[in-house]
Amino acid sequence: MAANSSTGSATEPPGLETQWREIDNLSQQQLRAGDSWYLLDKRWYDQWKEYVHAGDQNSSSYPGKIDNTELYEDLDSYHLKERLSENEDFVLVPAEAWHKLLSWYDMMDNQPPLERKVVDLPSTVKVEVYPVEIYLCLSSNMESTVSACFSRADKIREYRLLMDRKSIWTLKNTAESRLWMRSTDTSSERLRNLNMTVLDACLSSGMVKYTPTIYTPKLWSSVMRNSADEDSYRGPPGVCGLTNLGNTCFMNSALQCLSNTPPLTEYFLRNSYLEELNFTNPLGMKGEIAEAYADVIKQMWSGRHYSVVPRVFKTKVGHFASQFLGYQQHDSQELLSFLLDGLHEDLNRVKKKEYIELRDADGRPDQEVAEEAWRNHLRRNDSVIVDTFHGLFKSTLVCPECNKVSVTFDPFCYLSVPLPVSKERVMEVFYVSLDPTAKPTQYRLIVPKAGQVIDLCTALSQATGVPPNQMAVADVFNHRFYRIYQADESLSCILDRDDIFVYQLSSGCVDQEGEEVVMAIYMRERSHYRDYGSGSNSYSTSLFGHPLLISVPRAQCTREDLYQLLLKRLAPSSEGEERAEEEESSSEPDRGSSTEEGQSASGSTDTNSQDATDGDQSTGVEPSGKEEEDEDEEEEEEEEAASCAQANKRLPGRRRYTERQKKALFTIQAVNSNGTTERGMGEADAQPYIAIDWDPDMKKKYYNENEAEKYIKHQSMDVPHQQITVQLQECIELFTTVETLEEENPWYCPTCKKHQLATKKLDLWSLPEVLIIHLKRFSYTKYSREKLDTIVEFPLRDLDFSGFLLKKTVNSTEPPCRYDLISVSNHYGGLRDGHYTSYARNKDNGQWYYFDDSKVTYAREEQITSAAYLLFYQRQDKIRQPTVPPPVPSSSQPENHVSSQTHDGMDGASSCVSMETD
């Protein structure tokens, strides 16, 4: 489909209720492999829903043309942004629904439709939002590439077919192709089965290259020599990077932590897993996850690789957990949870699980109930994962109605501990003063997290001195108001990424019945030509710059008064009407010296009477008639004015009855909330929207757009927000604090025979050899998602759990409760632009290393930062002393990895397929 998907004009849509019913019904259809679905910007879709539910064709919530601007990386390549989330950034609609919306509303010029195919993948059918992007090139010319996207359901031979369609790369019919996939800068893998799918071949975004010549030993020997060079590398076992396959840093970080968990790694290096693979477990993955993981671990600990490409492992994970398909960013803890569970079931020594009925404590001693619970757990679950990571906690539930107490003991694989949540929130806003000479100022404010919009205004008032009731708060998006907030709305509706503008109003307590009205002002640029193709003779317009909110006395809502008011407001960006008058006077010296105005600010001419809009007391600007005349009428007016001017020249001593024409800098038009549709007479709203329409030539002469876009930073922007610092022990205490169950997760009381919001308390009973602590940094609520940047201080040694355990040591044979840190998974950045790395202590030499995808560097203990997300602790009595002397890092010693540092979505060593011919 062409890049410009605009239909030129939208067809007449059906009624609003019919629109909603048709689109909603179509969106309920099931996904079918091969069907097309389309991505729609979530903001546009939400506005459309608001519009159709309003039930008013003239509602201010009219969404305008379909606009997917926010989904693109840029408006040149129209490349889709990375890490977009369904139902947060976009929605998916089937093809029929898309075409209906397109015919009703049209689409922004030049924007391509975001069509995506439904693919049938193992264990799921889904819309493939991010296809595999491949760069095709000749092996003899790596500089010349052609980009192409492939579905994961496509066959490998599609690469060859696409290459054959490129005339400059035509292969001889007799040529026999060989495909090579470059896994690193120094090694390649042979792709033998061209009937395999992209998914089965574990291909990711990267490069495809081939040589359209007869196969020569030179290229083959080069490939083999490069592989041999890598095989000759002998570095410290385990000190090995993992290539980023495209937003897979979350997986690499979790794998590095597990790789540096001694008991688990030694289990796989000894090949103990081979005897315990469980191929019949219905809850397992037929041993495939365990085998894929074992292959990665053996490569990492062979000492032969600078970096390993975990492509097969990534593909296996996607096979059995569809949420990890594709190359979007994910949570390392979610991957770790799946992997530990998958390894456990693949290696479960219990081949046939028996049914066990769980019993409540019913007043029995904790020791008895705990031992029974652990025995029952081992009767169904017995693996190296249980041996290494499983512990036991006590769960106590109390019914608020009948006081029934339920006590159970449940196994756990890791502890997810909460972080103390701050009751405050940092917000950044742009403040727009009434002073036309003052530029917008960016402020950083501290507001109550559970506060309202008025609290934001109050905080800003303390910095500006302007009363809170003289402020209006709005979310500005794409040169228009996405939303104008009321004072009592919750701040949770405002996301950190929103561009929030706060406007100073001339007086407080502005409401629909007051003496002043708040007007929303848009800036628009008119095209040079009328748009006859759209079925009308009006000029097309495009929004630019920042919109304004101003309060205007109802008595001054005439066009002339508004023109003068807006002219003053735009003074810093506009060179004013004086220059326009001067230029016009100097260019037309023969028109006389009269200074009387004969033209209104809107640009219309009335030589016989006062401006028709003078004295208008409406709540908004209402056109007094047709805004602009047809071209023929305009020509007649010009001829008449010229005739009058000639008559005046013949009567120099007589006062001219025709007033001098003066061209306005801009015109004023009442529009809808999106600034896309002009409003008719009598359609005043509680929130009027006005457009300032600039003629392109006038805008170029008298409006400085660069100056208008400038802003200054308040000193509050230079003061870093003080982060909260807590101890890890405080988080564990929160984990064991009594809490009340949420309404979404009630407990069924066996005595009351109904669900209750019981109180719940968790206590630690016994701990495993390796304890994983998950710091719950990501907070998800009904209204918002955020990351908690709380600094958690945690010990590297001697983490003592004796004070948290209910089970006290009864004899000297009981294991101690002290732990040392062995690895950390870090998360940097926010929800949408985060990056995972890891620190780990090598089990052989005791040296700490920092793993950032394929890059590995030495690390000091003091470098282990507050960005920790997952903590791996090993019990001190199980930690062995280093078996080899630790290396001595020095400034002259090079890093053990030779490739450049990688980032999410960018591989330091792209996957590459090489095609050779014999």
- Count Cβ neighbours within 10 Å for each residue of 86-122 and write b for 16 or more, e otherwise: eeebbbbbbebbbebbbebbbbbeebebbebebbebe
How far is 62 from 306, CA to CA, in rounded Å?
A: 57
Assess contact for 707 and 572: CB atoms under 8 A: yes
Cβ-contact 527, 567 below 8 angstroms: no
- Tell me how far apart the alpha carbons of residues 684 and 779 are, in angstroms, rounded to a whole number: 42
What is the pLDDT at residue 358? 79
Identify the pLDDT of residue 315.
Answer: 85
In whole angstroms, give the CA distance from residue 129 to residue 86.
Answer: 9
Selection from 526, 527, 569 nearest residue 547 by Cα? 569
Q: How many CA atoms lie within 13 A of 725 on its CB side?
A: 5
404 vs 393: CA distance, rounded Å: 20
Q: The tokens of 771 are what?
A: 């304890």
Tell me how far apart the alpha carbons of residues 918 and 870 are, in angstroms, rounded to a whole number: 51
Question: Could you read off the pLDDT of 713-728 as tens digits, one per residue?
Answer: 999 998 776 777 889 9
pLDDT of residue 79: 83
Contacts with 842 (C-beta within 8 Å, 6 or more apart), sequence order: 236, 238, 239, 260, 848, 849, 882
Q: Tokens 């081979």 map to which residue?
A: 274
pLDDT at 609: 35
pLDDT digit string, tens, across residues 603-648: 333 333 333 333 333 333 444 334 444 444 445 445 444 444 444 4
* CA 806/CA 767 separation, integer angstroms: 11
For the chain, report the end-to-end CA distance as a whole number of angstroms: 38
Give the count of alpha carbons within 13 A of 301, CB side only: 24
The residue whose two tokens read 């016994």 is 766
Using alpha carbons only, how large is the chain's radius of gyration in Å?
A: 35
Residue 688, token pair as written in the block: 């009027």
Which two tokens mark 64?
A: 């305008």
Show the low-confidence residues of the chain (pLDDT under 50): 1-8, 167-169, 171-175, 185, 207-231, 510, 512, 533-535, 588-634, 636-637, 639-661, 681-682, 891-918
Identify the structural domains of the chain with CATH numbers, from first to last: 16-124 (3.30.2230.10), 132-211 (3.10.20.90), 724-878 (3.90.70.10)
Interacting residues of 59 by C-beta distance below 8 A, sequence separation 6+: 51, 672, 673
Q: Report the distance separating Cα 87 and Cα 20, nearest Å.
A: 18
What is the pTM (predicted TM-score) of this model? 0.63
| Interstrand relation of 770-776 and 868-875 (parallel, antiparallel or unpaired) | antiparallel
Tokens of 68: 């997917």
Active site residue 249: yes
**Interatomic CA distance for residues 551 and 565, integer angstroms:** 11
Give the C-alpha separation, 775 to 728, whole Å: 9
Closest among 627, 602, 600, 625 to 538, alpha carbons compared: 627
Count Cβ atoms below 10 Å from residue 830 Cβ, excluding itself.
13
Q: What residues contact 665, with CB distance under 8 A and at least 6 apart?
A: 567, 574, 577, 580, 694, 698, 702, 703
3-state helix, strand, coil in the chain (%, to 5): 25, 30, 45
* Residue 253: predicted pLDDT: 96
Residue 888 CB: number of other CB atoms within 10 A?
8
CA 618 to each of CA 564, 601, 669, 682, 686: distance values in angstroms, whole numbers, following the listed order = 17, 18, 14, 9, 11
Structure-block tokens of residue 258: 């597990």
**Residue-level pLDDT at 522:** 93
- 730 three-class SS: helix
Q: Hey, CA dihedral for 739, 744, 746, 752, is it positive or negative?
A: positive
What distance in Å separates the CA atoms of residue 183 and residue 309, rounded to the nearest whole number?
A: 6
Amino acid residing at 88 = E
- The catalytic residue among 305, 390, 835, 897 is 835
Report d(CA 507, CA 520) in Å as an integer: 16
202, 314 in Cβ contact below 8 A?
yes
Q: How many H helices and E strands in the chain?
A: 19, 41
Nearest to 102 by CA among 232, 810, 93: 93
Q: How many residues can be counted in the chain? A: 918
Structure-block tokens of residue 234: 């002998």
Residue type, 887: P
**Among 339, 405, 312, which Cα is nearest to 366's?**
405
Q: What is the pLDDT of residue 758?
A: 92
Give DSSP secondary structure letters for 232-243: T----TT--EE-
Query: Out of 249, 399, 557, 749, which one is annotated catalytic?
Result: 249
Q: Cβ contacts of residue 690 below 8 Å, gap of 6+?
A: 519, 520, 521, 522, 562, 620, 621, 668, 669, 670, 671
State residue 264's pLDDT score. Answer: 97
Mapping DSSP onto H, E and C, the string for 305-338 reads CCEECCHHHHHHHHHHCHHHCCCCCCCHHHHHHH
User: Residue 455: in which H helix or E strand, if any?
Assistant: helix 453-464
Cβ atoms within 10 A of the Cβ of 56, count? 12
Tokens representing residue 818 in the block: 């002290």
DSSP annotation of 70 reads G
